[in-house]
Amino acid sequence: MVTYVERRNWNELRPTRSDTAGVPLTGAYAQTRQSWARRIDAIEDLPEAYRDPVRLELRGATLPYSVLCPAFARHAKPTRETFVVAIDDRLHLFVRRGAEIAATSFGPPDVHALEIGDVLLDSWLTIRGLAVDWSAQAATVRFNRVGMELMLPFVDLLRSPVRGASTGADAHEPTMLRSLSWRSLKFYNLARSLRRDGDRLVDVFLQPAIRGRRRPALPFLRREIAPAHLVVLTDSELIIASDLAGKGSRDDRYGYVRTHVPLRHVVDAGAVTRPDGLSVARIGLSSGDAIEVVFELATDADDVVSNLNAAAA
């Protein structure tokens, strides 16, 4: 007889007790695994509710690469179970809402912005673009951090395609990227992972965290005005990666949120000065939305705007 605390395999069921009315309890490890995204190889592996909607969309074709993201508890609100699959070069999201399945799809050319968040065990993918009927829509898929590798193929599908072919020059790291390693190893590694073979790097801007002035009474307390962020501009897309801020916890520094914007959807860009003296680069998108990036120096904001307008022309 093996007691609960003596078990070595945490996937096995917890022994039934008299007060559980015969319902077996799973161990902590098994419960945690239930919140992880997993790859689906066949329609028969899907929960029953998804099978008919997916078969209808496949129209007799075999199931391509797909991932099921289970619902899992979060501090703010629970997530919804979502089945993600790419069919005919479109990304399809099947979201379980009670007993029904709501379907949404995005075509890569119609994606205006792509946001990927990664903070401790909480990760998400937000897509902003046009639906089949050309109406603006946005969708978010949340998943446990351990499923990030499974979601990356969908991110690659939706990113703006590389303009140039892969060449030997791409194997050499640009000087502007190497210089970033001296300022922030975190953002340097992130920039390296985001750059693809064939991408021509136009410029890289790093803005450290912007903090307010020291107060004579409390010199050790300085309010953070804007988190540290990185702007990577290539000949095909604009990437903005930022620390998270606003929660009042240093845990925000263990993750980041990054946004990919295809240059074909950049309508205009301009720089303005805020009343507090900081400069803001405002980037207008074809969807009517705008992205704002704060800089401490006006010259940095002007450079970002100038290079972006030239690259998007």
163, part of any domain: no
Do 8 and 70 lie in a common domain?
Answer: no
pLDDT, mean of residues 111-130: 90
288, part of any domain: yes
pLDDT in tens, 146-158: 889 999 999 999 9
Do 22 and 88 lie in a common domain?
Answer: no
169, part of any domain: no
Do 129 and 89 lie in a common domain?
Answer: yes
Residues in CB range of 50: below 8 A, 6 or more apart: 83, 94, 96, 101
Do 24 and 77 lie in a common domain?
Answer: no
> Domain holding 75: CATH number?
2.30.29
- Which candidate, 249, 144, 233, places its Cα nearest to that of 241? 233
Q: Tokens in use for 249?
A: 């916890």
Instruction: Report residue 219's pLDDT band, with 50, 70 and 90 as the boundaries.
Output: low
Do 117 and 26 lie in a common domain?
Answer: no
Measured at the alpha carbon of residue 14, what is the angle toward residues 33 and 83, in degrees to the nearest 5?
Answer: 25
Overall number of domains in the chain: 3
pLDDT in tens, 237-289: 999 999 875 444 444 456 789 999 999 999 999 999 988 889 999 999 988 88
What pLDDT, on the 0 to 100 scale, is given for residue 31?
A: 62
Do 83 and 134 lie in a common domain?
Answer: yes
Q: What is the largest CA-CA distance in the chain?
A: 73
Q: Tokens in use for 170?
A: 């791409």
- Which candidate, 32, 27, 31, places its Cα nearest to that of 10? 27
Q: Tokens in use for 160?
A: 């703006």
Spatial contact of 147 and 122, defined as CB atoms under 8 Å apart: no
Residues in CB range of 210: below 8 A, 6 or more apart: 224, 225, 226, 278, 294, 296
Residue 182 sits at φ, ψ, to 5 deg, of -80, -20
Do 55 and 85 lie in a common domain?
Answer: yes
The pTM of the whole model exceeds 0.75: yes
165, part of any domain: no
What pLDDT, on the 0 to 100 scale, is given for residue 85?
A: 96
What pLDDT, on the 0 to 100 scale, is given for residue 165?
A: 58
80, part of any domain: yes
Do 92 and 151 lie in a common domain?
Answer: yes
285, part of any domain: yes
Do 28 and 44 lie in a common domain?
Answer: no
* Beta partners for residue 293, in sequence order: 281
Do 46 and 146 lie in a common domain?
Answer: yes
> Domain holding 212: CATH number?
2.30.29.30
Count the neighbouring beta carbons within 10 Å of the beta carbon of residue 306.
Answer: 14
Question: What percentage of the chain has pLDDT greater than the value 70?
Answer: 78
Spatial contact of 33 and 121, defined as CB atoms under 8 Å apart: no
- Alpha helices per DSSP H over the chain: 28-33, 48-58, 148-158, 175-178, 185-194, 298-312
Distance, CA of 288 to chain centre? 21
Identify the residue whose tokens are 């120096």: 297
Q: Quick one: CA dihedral 38, 39, 41, 47, positive or negative?
A: positive
State which H helix or E strand residue 102 sits in: strand 100-106
Do 204 and 128 lie in a common domain?
Answer: no
Instruction: Report residue 292's pLDDT band, with 50, 70 and 90 as the boundaries.
Output: very high
Instruction: Report residue 51's pLDDT band, with 50, 70 and 90 as the boundaries.
Output: very high
247, part of any domain: yes
* Beta partners for residue 238, in sequence order: 233, 261
Count the neighbouring beta carbons within 10 Å of the beta carbon of residue 188.
Answer: 20
The residue range of the domain holding 259 is 174-312
Do 137 and 250 lie in a common domain?
Answer: no
166, part of any domain: no
Residue that terminates a domain, selected from 98, 128, 158: 158
